[in-house]
Structure 1
Amino acid sequence: MELLLAIFLAVLTVFVAMAFYYEHPKAEIPHGFSQRQKLYIFHYILNFGFGLAKFLEKVGITSEVHFLRALMDGIPPLKDQRLFIKDLRFEKVKVRLYQPKISTTGQRRGILYFHGGVGQFGSIRAYERTCRYLAKKSNSVVVSVGYRLAPEHPFPTQFEDCLTATIHFMRTAQDYGVDPSRIIICGDSSGGTLTAAVAQALVNRRDLPKLRAQILIYPFLQCVDFNLPSYQQNEGVPILLKKRTLALGLKYLNKDLSVMEAIFKGSHIPEDLQLKYQKWVNPDYIPHEFKTRGYKPIAINPFSEELYTLFKLVFDPVFSPLLAEDSVIAQLPETFILTCEFDVLRDDGLLYKKRLEDHGIKVTWCHLQEGFHGIVFLALCSGASTFRSGNKGLEKIVNFLRLM
């Protein structure tokens, strides 16, 4: 029996590995990346995980999304006696509160953390190490927000939960020893999208204190142009491949993946919106040094009214915060933006940085020259999965927080 099980697992492994070898035959890791071999290995392990998830769904064992969630939740938290940790609810939203035990004079800063995962993966548990690290290193009260996930809870539930948790914390901050004028919101990847959207939603609220700052860690910010220099240069760079970016986004919105190529070519955008958004989403605004690895302008395909009708919700600033009106951008708080050279989303961050600075918003920018998408999250995973550049990013974030 044990032999049969071993044979079955071996055959399963081979089939899954072969399937994903042909789907992603080669990772494109640029020369000059000092930890190339480690990234290659991580890339193929990740692809194997995606492949196994698809296989298990096809044979009816579990859904792809639930398997991937379980993998993320499997990262064990590090034990720590220096923090009070408590699970709470802010209205109906699950949160986990981290408070340093060390005594302090006066009130602390408060940080709300919105995890990444394209609105479908990630959790309080998966980001336990990140939130503990920020609480300890910056001597802050951290609130990890366990917003509900798609597809069980469709977009924009994730934004609504994050906004609800933020408002609740702003109103009750003093109950947790937090100065209401020193509240910062922070998130990575799609959590960075949520951070930007929540900050925008709060600019006209006169019944709440102003946010002290927002921290955007390699955020997704627009779906107008998937052919910016960073998308072209990093199309096959792990871990967020260009096709994977759009595929995950379409699954988040519960849309058919068959439209991917048409969206890549811009057929979902009417001409009047193209003209409007060119003021904000334009490769001409990307500094020249970020085009040296290659960039070729791509002609826009003819507009499809049907495609626009299906996807016009993606132009809502809640989904694409870079498309917010100038009157909103001009009121945003001080901002920290982290970008990575080898990330398809790099130019989203660069364009948002420009918009903020054009309106006089103070921006602290950290660019990881050897960074790729997800590197900050991986920095707190133990052993072989860590990358030096991720540690540098964490240090920059903590240094920024200490000034708030």
Structure 2
Amino acid sequence: MVLYERVITQVALAAVAVAAGPALAAGDGEAPAGVDSGLHLVSYRTAGSVAVDGKDGGEWAAAAPLIVTVDELPYKPDTGYRGIDATDVEIRSLHDEGHLYMLFRWADPTLSTARWPWVKQADGGWKQMKALDSTGHENDWYEDKLSVFWHINERGFEKKGCDMSCHIAADGWLDGVRDSSAGRHYTDQPGETLDMWHWKSARTNPVGQADDQFVNDDRKDGPGNWGRNSDIKHGGGYFTNINADKTGPAWMSARGGDSNYVLDAEKVPFDDSRFKAGDMLGGVVAAPFIGPEADVTATGRWHDGEWTLEIRRALVTTGEGSDMHDVQFTDLSKPYHFGVGVFDNTQINHLYHRKAITMTFEPAYTAGLDGSEQEARR
């Protein structure tokens, strides 16, 4: 593939990281006026597409990284938290005429894809593994995830980032109603929305997608689950692997054996005789979304204590609700703002950072370069 070349050596990256301090390392390129250079990501122009397979092909060497430390958690579960308490997220971006590509890489010593799995017991029965905390959420039997929140039109997000939509109950009350959750995401004003790309290692990764969602101003008495909603779906999507009696799994893979998820395309009716005590079977059946919820292509790979996640989305989406549910990269001369959260085997507890990250697009050609210099950048 042909790229507008940007050679980055390990020495240069180390120097950038030192200059920026331990928390943040800026991407290459001058930050726009008023933008924190330590939170500035440049999306570089590429003349070809990027394979979204989680393998970090050589094309990413042309995109300078931004390193963001996520080291804050919204709450401490009463059941304990055994995940990582901080990690550096490497973020890179490329774009072509029609798509935005992003790479996220972060350290996580454990691969977690067993979301509420079934385990066969010594007496022959099956138990779904759960250990919910006082807020009703899981911190032990879950999956690794990553979320990206994109600003659409929420006032204040450009500076404060995800903090703007995160609301914590005070003395058990949130927005005038009783609430035991550790926090809710919703925007303050009617008509304000955020775009959310929610990658899930057990539910969406096996089918090469992230869950395209959005946040609006819904409260508990609204049509959504507080402010979090999924984009419109015409079919497909993951579902719980449970039988009608809720005593065991309903499906297994045609390939047999235990696994942390079952692919919908390979599922067959569950056959208990194929399993022995101690065997584990996935608590979720993974199927690709159909419709606007399928807008975000994503594949992550875990290797040697590290996740590498690649994402692709059209610069402009046109499905139902896209004007309010999706960030639209219609003007590549303007900045766009986002935030990142990392989930280590948790349902809602996640590592996050303060303030918003600003992304700008590198133009296809750089003004002031003569013909030979332009050719060298191709």
TM-score (norm 2): 0.26
| Larger RCO (alpha carbons 8 Å, 6+ apart) | 2
TM-score (norm 1): 0.24
- Structure in which a larger fraction of residues adopt strand: 2
